[in-house]
Amino acid sequence: MSDILWQPDAKRIANSRMDMFRRWVNQRHSLDLHDYPALHQWSIDQREAFWQAIVDFFDIRFHTQPDTVLREGTQMPSAEWFPGATLNFAEHLLRRRDDAVAVIAVAENGQREQLTWAELAEQVAGFQASLQAAGIGIGDRVAACMPNTWQTLVAMLATTSLGAIWSCSSPDFGTHGVIDRFGQIEPKVLITCAGYRYAGKYIDQSQKLNEILEQLPSLEQLIIVPYARTQAHIEDYRTQANVTLWDDFYQPGGEPHFVAVPFAHPLYVLYSSGTTGVPKCIVHSTGGVLLQHVKEHGLHVDLGPGDRLFYYTTCGWMMWNWLVSALAVGSAVLLYDGSPFHPDNARLLELIEDERGSVFGTSPKYLATLESNGLKPRESHDLSSLKTLLCTGSALSPQSYDFVYRDFKPDVCLASMSGGTDIVSCFVNGNPLSPVRRGENMGKSLGMAVAVWNDAGHAVIGEKGELVCTRHFPAMPVGLWNDPDREKLRKSYFSQFPGVWAQGDYAEELAHGGMVIHGRSDAVLNPGGVRIGTAEIYRQVEKVAEVLDSVAIGQQWQDDVRVVLFVRLKDGVVLDEALQQQIRQVIRANTTPRHVPAKIVAVTDIPRTISGKIVELAVRNVVHGEPVRNTDALANPEALEQFRDRPELNH
């Protein structure tokens, strides 16, 4: 897997912020950290010096200075970062006030709006004043069920500027998906759209909203953004709260002010996917998110003033929170709301070209779809502005690496990242100093003591095991909602190896520092006692042109587990014996006989979460006749019915 597909030239390395930071650290601490591995090792061994260096390099402004960098207990989770310090998150995202473009928002129908840095601050100041007048202050929750628009960003900045807590989902969540999330945190304010567009269709939200409002008794203020429904009327909504249209709620103008809060003060509440029960409400800290994001944007992605970051995401995925933080390093952000494939598969490519995006982020599924549809972006679009292509959400197959360098853009840094909602950031990241190797993530994030452990709790190289983080880091969540003794937090992340964060990813660290993610640990297959990551199978199935999508599970069978592969085929293709043999042969030739599925079954759709992740556990439950607790977390819950009572699985 060590094929090098791309490496930065000397000029690109020298001009990168990562290398500037390395040289700055060397000078400041009289060190000789000559490459990225040395810098990473220092960031782990000297965590206090490293995180203080992030504070200084990115000019993080504390209103009250910290007593120290880190106060640590005997084992995780028991750390205080920058105790005594106070700061404000929104203040750092609104530092620029010039007339350059800060935010570009494009809707599916082509409507385009933009805000300069000065206009963004004015919008935030107006919304902030109205939130304050509505009684919002430190610790209050403001929730949003919104499309990816500039209004959502303004509302988040106004909320966090006041020390209130922001939480958002997207309009494609079902009624119970929203209630299961917001019902737990009891928001005072809800911001939502009257309707939205997706794939050329208009979806009215009124009925769903009224069902949600019945279950939110804590609500005092409802703010309606007409968005795709221009004739929105406040009398359409049944709630005891005040109801106001967005344009009537506030007047832009003035200067925002920033309420200083402690470093560990809650900033965001994000949610686990909720496919196995009610979603966990994960509480992220003001200082932890800020430091982690400026490190990732400024160093790992090499973003700064003059750059434009475009990550395709909805507001219900952590990548939205990650995307907008790019403002803190002076980069503009491009927000897109709608289907990535409407009116055709080139939609996002046109946006990169038209808006001169310098960094584009997407999912493995998107790249696989472009390839299977025969697109060659380097021939059809001017992508000269693009310097980095980011990918996360699931493992990126070696075939997609080939596609990017053959058909997308040969001179681009392809950074496959891995982290999660749990830390609203990455354990494994790209960086502008390292080569891109086929089928691999570049390596570990700075300041993150990442390792792969076997079942005995020993670090292994070149073997598969659990992705862990062995030392405290500032972006660790400060807790889960309604978990005062932190018992749920410990059970979620620290029960497998006490005092060590286990991420739930089945991974492998390679001798040269690269990483490979083999799938989720809880979806690992175990035929004959051998652990197999589902991504190992998907990587091979993607080589078979007739297969569009697949999901692999372990079926309990005759006191063991057998591998079952479900495939979604191209139109007109039949799963005959020859195709089954071809699929098995590709898997056997590139993995082991244990990986070869005992059964291959055709389906017309593969269930995924709203953020696009395959839900192996839900499929496994249906196959075994067990209930799926929370189908509202799925984008296409109806797809599950195809997996129930399949006669092929009875022999």
Give residue for tokens 């898997």: 587
Q: Which one-letter amino acid corresponds to residue 13?
A: I
Distance CA 353, CA 380 (A): 10
Phi, psi of 373 (to 5 degrees): -95, 5
Distance CA 141, CA 125 (A): 18
Phi, psi of 533 (to 5 degrees): -80, 135
- C-alpha gyration radius of the chain: 24
Which three-class secondary structure state does DSSP give residue 529? helix
Which three-class secondary structure state does DSSP give residue 648? helix
What per-residue confidence (pLDDT) applies to 176? 86
What per-residue confidence (pLDDT) applies to 135? 98
Burial class (CB in 10 A: 0-12, 13-18, 19+), 502: middle
pLDDT digits (tens, 9 = 90+) for 177-205: 899 999 999 999 999 999 999 999 999 99
Domains of the chain by start residue, with CATH? 89-259 (3.40.50.12780), 524-650 (3.30.300.30)
Residue 369 and residue 342 in contact, taking contact as beta carbons nearer than 8 Å: no
Written in H, E and C, the secondary structure of 10-38 is HHHHHHCHHHHHHHHHHHHHCCCCCCHHH
Q: What angle do CA 314, 320, 326 make, to 5 degrees?
A: 145
What per-residue confidence (pLDDT) applies to 114? 98
Distance CA 112, CA 96 (A): 22
Structure pTM?
A: 0.91
What per-residue confidence (pLDDT) applies to 229? 73
Residue 601 and residue 567 in contact, taking contact as beta carbons nearer than 8 Å: yes
- Max intra-chain CA distance, the chain: 71
Question: What string of DSSP letters covers 569-621?
Answer: EPTT----HHHHHHHHHHHHHHS-GGGS-SEEEEES---BBTTS-B-HHHHHH
Classify residue 296 by its DSSP letter.
I
Give which of 447, 413, 474, 551 is closest to 21, Cα–Cα. 447
Which residues of the chain are modeled with pLDDT < 50? Answer: 1
Question: What string of DSSP letters covers 193-260?
Answer: ESEEEETTEEEE-HHHHHHHHHT-TT--EEEEE-TT-S---GGG---SSEEEEHHHH----S------
Question: What string of DSSP letters covers 121-160?
Answer: HHHHHHHHHHHHHTT--TT-EEEEE--SSHHHHHHHHHHH
Q: Which one-letter amino acid corresponds to residue 169?
A: S
Distance CA 301, CA 289 (A): 16
What per-residue confidence (pLDDT) applies to 592? 83
Helix (H) or strand (E) segment spanning residue 271: strand 266-271
Around Cβ 305, how many Cβ atoms within 10 Å? 11
Give which of 538, 440, 536, 364 is closest to 5, Cα–Cα. 440
Strands (E), 421-546: 425-429, 436-437, 443-444, 450-453, 464-469, 479-480, 501-509, 515-520
Burial class (CB in 10 A: 0-12, 13-18, 19+), 315: buried
Residue 152 and residue 313 in contact, taking contact as beta carbons nearer than 8 Å: no
Give alpha helix (H) positions in 384-423: 398-403
